[in-house]
Homo-oligomer: A and B are copies of this chain.
Amino acid sequence: MSLFRAVRTPLSTSSLLCQGLRSVTGFGAGDAADHKVVPVEEARRFAEECLKSVGAKETHASQMAELLVSADSRGHYSHGMNRLEMYVRDIQQGSTRVDAEPELERSTSSTALVNGNQCLGATVGQFSMDLAIQKAKESGVGWVAAHGSNHYGIAGWYALRACDQGLMGLSFTNTSPLQVPTRGRECVLGTNPIALAAPGNNGDSFVLDMATSTTAIGKVELCKRKDSKIPNGWGVAENGQETNDPNQVLGKGGLMPLGGTEVSGGYKGYGLAMMVEVFCGILSGSHYGTGIRKWIGQHDVPANLGQCFIAVDPNCFAPGFADRMQALMSYCRDMEPAEGAENVMVAGDPERHHLKEVERLGGVSYHDNLVSAMAKLSAELSVPAMQPKA
């Protein structure tokens, strides 16, 4: 979940700066020889069948599969097929329910409170965002909070759902504690993402989808695997102090808020993470802060996450929204880049490039490790394996 998430196919054209970052992040990166291209429809079929095989209703499985494949197609590999097994385990161990539906608990002309009833996150999220969209069309704004939800994938997916209908869409979720408040030493908040999608002209759009921590835990894990240091501003050790050692972050430390240390503005990232928690857990009455289950090893405990979905109709404000949005995006993209840098991008551009690559390749390029892991899952669940392109 990042604005400048590097385009992660071997054919990437991202900048030198981003390549430095990409070599650290690495999800889905690597040589074409290590990868298999899987047609989008086939990837979706596989995810849906896996979820159905453990009891998910067809509609729920389809919603989740759509979300996962969309994440992969946009280059957010960490939130795509890579997470399928987690959703399967949550169903198998009963923390995600397959016999329920999200329900509307209360509403006004522009607000709603949804009980997700521990359904799959994509199901709760789609139900809630569609409600927000409907209310925005009727009253100008729809502001929906959901409790009893589960991990809902990329936040941007829900924001885009509103954007596709000409609205501004926003989405937020709390997550398992991984982020340490400025001056603290304990993980209190999650990576708590913020997503905003706003329409420009001719299908163009501004799509921000970012964690409020400097980086994702997966990027720290990758540094550990490579036995390399992490950059400043990424994480703290058990004593709460900044460290460049990934082992200390992953042991008893945690992620730093966006901004890093206090002198470089880390207290702002901490404030933003808390803002997301206010919109999610505090508003919806779900679990929040350290009350949320740990990221690893608690599949039997209901997550009861809180999420927030907002839609706003720009037509209720000044005429010409999309034209101005487009002009600002064009200005940024066309400006002279910094010395040594490639073109300036706007949020959503890397994902757009990645979608084009998927189209060109005829499918999503998955690393062999992912393909093997899915083959194992398919055997376990007696679901026909995911078939790469010949």
Contact with B along A219-240 (1 / 0, CB 8 A): 0000000000001111010011
Residue of B nearest to A306 (CB): B318
The 8 Å CB contact of A240, one of B208, B269, B341, is: B341
Chain B residues within an 8 Å CB radius of A111 = 139-141, 312-313, 316-317
User: 4 tightest CB-CB pairs across the interface, nearest first?
Assistant: A240-B338, A285-B318, A111-B140, A108-B140
Contact with B along A122-149 (1 / 0, CB 8 A): 0000000000000000011101010100
Residue of B nearest to A323 (CB): B282
Chain B residues within an 8 Å CB radius of A336 = 184-186
Chain B residues within an 8 Å CB radius of A321 = 282-283
Chain B residues within an 8 Å CB radius of A337 = 183-185, 240
Kindly state the separation between the CA atoms of A185 and B285 in the bound complex, as whole angstroms.
44
A224 CB, nearest partner CB in chain B, Å: 17
A146 CB, nearest partner CB in chain B, Å: 10
Q: What is the number of residues of chain A that contact chain B, defined by CB distance less than 8 Å?
A: 101
Chain B residues within an 8 Å CB radius of A346 = 274
A257 CB, nearest partner CB in chain B, Å: 10
A128 CB, nearest partner CB in chain B, Å: 12
Kindly state the separation between the CA atoms of A3 and B186 in the bound complex, as whole angstroms.
19
A129 CB, nearest partner CB in chain B, Å: 16
Which one of A13-21, A31-39, A43-51, A82-90 is at the B interface?
Answer: A13-21
Residue of B nearest to A281 (CB): B324
> Is there an interface contact between A338 and B239, defined as CB atoms closer than 8 Å?
yes
Residue of B nearest to A186 (CB): B335
Given the interface contacts A262-B4, A274-B206, A285-B320, does A331 sit within 8 Å of B214 by beta carbon? no
A175 CB, nearest partner CB in chain B, Å: 15
The 8 Å CB contact of A316, one of B108, B183, B196, B332, is: B108
Chain B residues within an 8 Å CB radius of A274 = 206, 208, 328, 332, 346-347
> Is there an interface contact between A140 and B109, defined as CB atoms closer than 8 Å?
yes
In the assembled complex, 21 residue pairs joining A and B whose CB atoms fall closer than 8 Å, in A order, are: A4-B262, A17-B261, A20-B263, A21-B262, A110-B141, A111-B141, A181-B332, A183-B343, A185-B337, A198-B282, A208-B274, A210-B268, A231-B264, A232-B264, A234-B264, A259-B260, A267-B347, A281-B324, A281-B328, A282-B328, A283-B321
